[in-house]
Structure 1
Amino acid sequence: MRYARERQLVSDACRVLAARGLADGILGHISLRMDDTTLLVRCRGPRERGLHRTTPADIRLVDLDGRAAAPGELDDWSVPNELPLHTEVLRARPDVRAVVHAHPPAVVAADLAGLALRPIVGAFDIPGARLAAGGVPVHPRGVLIRDRRLAREMVGALGERPAVLLRGHGLTSTGGSVPEAVLRAVSLDTLARLSLDIAQAGGTLRELPEEDLAELPDLGGAFHHDTAWRHELSRLGRTAGEGAC
């Protein structure tokens, strides 16, 4: 099949989400833009076993309307019900190449508890601190984003930001690559877990001072993305996928 390397990448990324606890069971999906009209996306196959058991065969090539983009692509697979969540982001955001949709329990719980994801950490997670410092918007509807109308509402909440929380639902994160989009979701989950722990301990969430945020260095994509992604793959017992799409 075409795009074997890219299908392996998206497959591995789905397993990373599951291993990190961001997409338990059979819910959640990842997409990768291939060109202006097609994307690879995790689909539900004839022997669905959940994200943790995703294989490259589950990653299918479709167009922006959810139709097979090549013969045989959807013979035994169906696109996610929430495919419009991916395609409307890709339509609206030329800068985005990959979209992650996941259901991290901590992210849902923190938002429902009224705990906004703020830059409460610094060097603990520099990309996460920068992500939170720019603001993490919340889409206030807990609906299944099953059509373009509902997806456009979510995209409106996302705006130009890298990620958006979906109230009572989960999150959507974006990136210029699959690793970047997944690692952003991991950072948001970490911030949510820390926020809940602090609140449960009776503490107060305090944002990192501006002067400390300004001191956080940009260690570069080779560290934040490539090295971090190799670590995520090693947690799966894989050493392949050295490149990042």
Structure 2
Amino acid sequence: MLNSFEEERSLLADACRVLANRGLADGILGHISLRINDESLLVRCRGPRERGLGYTEAEDIRLVRFDGTEAAPGELDGWSVPNELPLHTAALRARDDVAAVVHAHPPRIVAADLAGIAIRPIVGAFDIPGTRLAAGGIPVYPRGVLVRDHSLAAEMVAAMQGRPVLVLRAHGITSVALTVEQAVLQAISVDTIAGLSMDILSAGGTLSDLSDEDMAELPDLGAGFNTGTAWRHEMARIDGVRASH
């Protein structure tokens, strides 16, 4: 085990398992990164015992330069960086408000978008951070491609329009934030709204945005609750899964 950035590597590994536990990263696809400085980042890589995001360990998180080369001796011995590393580096380079990037393939978000269902602020107090996120707009990158080069990554960043979450059509999502926890929790909220939207429409209902009056009544419960408590819950969920095995 590499002895630098141990806490950050463990956090990213936990975050990968949270995504898988929530059904946002089934199988071996998806990755999370964290900016270390202007030249390097920690990112989930594929190693010699690759088993998927749900089984990510801290050693799967490697320190690499933005150009994909190892940032310290031995970092890529037996590991390969994601094909879509440009997706991460483009967002990190373009935005000072971004330190963490989540890329996942949530089936419900992909299905909702392909069905023409936009992510809208429909739920109110059911998920206050998610409602506010949806109210600000969840843009869509309309190309179902692997974001594997700088040109495509630049297109993706432009399509984000400075927003925290982007749907990638026929592909997945990109979620960005100052912290790993926030980037993951945003992705969970968008997935939840996508699932509820499809359930409502399947039941013969219609989607209605929360009224301005009700939106104005929603309190800001603060980062301690919205992020801190919510993240402890996510960690308890994956701890429960590990204990059951």
TM above 0.5, one fold?
yes
C-alpha distance in 1, partners of 2:57/2:118?
35
2:56 alignment counterpart: 54
Residue identity in the other structure for 1:53 = Y
Q: Aligned runs of 1:77-116 on 2, under 5 Å?
A: 77-116=79-118
Stretches of structure 2 that go unaligned for 5 or more consecutive residues are 241-245
1:9-31 deviation line (CA, Å, top 9, x unaligned)? 00000000000000000000000
Q: Give the AA of the match of 2:179.
A: S
**CA deviation after TM superposition for structure 1 residue 37, in Å:** 1.2
Name the structure 1 match of 2:77: 75
In 1, the alpha carbon distance for the partners of 2:182 and 2:38 equals 20
Shift of 1:36: 1.3
Summarize the alignment of residues 222-241 of structure 1 with structure 2, pairs less than 5 Å apart. 222-237=224-239
| Distance (Å, rounded) in 1 between the aligned partners of 2:176 and 2:9 | 18
Report the Cα distance in structure 2 between the residues aligned to 1:236 and 1:116, rounded to whole angstroms.
30
* 2:185 aligns with one of 183, 205, 210: 183
**Large movers: runs of 4+ above 4 Å:** none
Matches within 5 A, 1:34-45: 34-45=36-47
Aligned to 1:208: 210
Q: How far apart, in 2, do the equivalents of 1:25 and 1:53 lie?
A: 10
Superposed displacement of residue 159, structure 1: 1.8
Shift of residue 5 of structure 1? 0.3
2 CA distance for matches of 1:206 and 1:64? Answer: 42
1:26 alignment partner in structure 2: 28
Q: Distance in 2 between matches of 1:52 and 1:164?
A: 23
Aligned to 2:127: 125
> How far apart are residue 112 of structure 1 and its match?
0.5
How far 1:35 sits from its partner (Å)?
1.1
What CA RMSD, in Å, does the superposition of the two structures yield over aligned residues? 0.7
**Offset at residue 64 of structure 1 (A):** 0.8
Whole-Å separation in 2 of the counterparts to 1:60 and 1:159: 29
Provide the identity percentage: 68
The separation in 1 between residues aligned to 2:189 and 2:169, in whole angstroms, is 18
SS in 1 for 2:75: coil
Q: Which amino acid aligns with 2:105?
A: H
Aligned-partner SS, 2:130 = helix
- Secondary structure of 2:98 counterpart: coil
Give the deviation of 1:94 after TM superposition: 1.2
| Distance in 1 (alpha carbons) for counterparts of 2:227 and 2:57 | 22
Once the two structures are superposed, residues 194-235 of structure 1 have per-residue CA deviations (whole angstroms, 9 ceiling, x without a partner) of 000011011110000011111111110000001000000001
Deviation at 1:236, TM superposition (A): 1.0
1:241 is matched with none
Query: Counterparts of 1:48 and 1:234 in 2: how far apart (Å)?
Result: 24
Deviations 1:112-151 (A, max 9, x none): 0000000001110000000000000000000001111111
2: CA distance, partners of 1:41 / 1:48? 15
Structure whose residues are more often helix by fraction: 2
